[in-house]
Structure 1
Amino acid sequence: MTLKPIGERIVVKMVEVEEKTASGIVLPSSAQEKPQVAEVVAVSEEVKDSTIKVGSKVIYSKYSGTEVKLDKEEYIIVKTEDVLAVVEG
């Protein structure tokens, strides 16, 4: 099964980030704030912004998007207007 967004939306998957405190203690993901960096896995045909494409890493607004779970994977469907930046390099 695949997700195909409609309208000006993209589907993103969270990028796993390991967080350490200053003293070197690794924090479990349940104790961390959700990262706002995600990898784009699907783009609607209606998206006009050519910088947002599958495989890009993006930063999106903190409280935006709709979380969905499909085939044991978690995704977020985000409006392109909630994408703040594309991470390059």
Structure 2
Amino acid sequence: METMSGALVYLNDICNKEDKLLLLIGTATEIETATQIIPMAAVAAAFERPFDLKKMVAQADGLLSTNMERTKLIAALDDFFEKQKYQKLHATQMS
């Protein structure tokens, strides 16, 4: 959990310092976990799985279009949380 917290703090810092957009993608629990560290005010959009890909792309496109002057970043936490789940499962199986 400490590694995840550190990664989320780092991600929040980068988005704030470099004026980047942050889009979260994950389950409701994953998004809730992320927003315990990253304030929702700093999140441009959050997409809960399962999601409608066309709607997500349209919303993300709209955000990026209206923020063209900003350096853009889409940060998907989905892969990060999947890695965490894999590591926990692997650690449990090794015990």
- The verdict on a shared fold, with TM-score over 0.5 as the criterion, is no
TM-score normalized by the length of structure 2 = 0.24
Higher normalized strand content (fraction of residues): 1
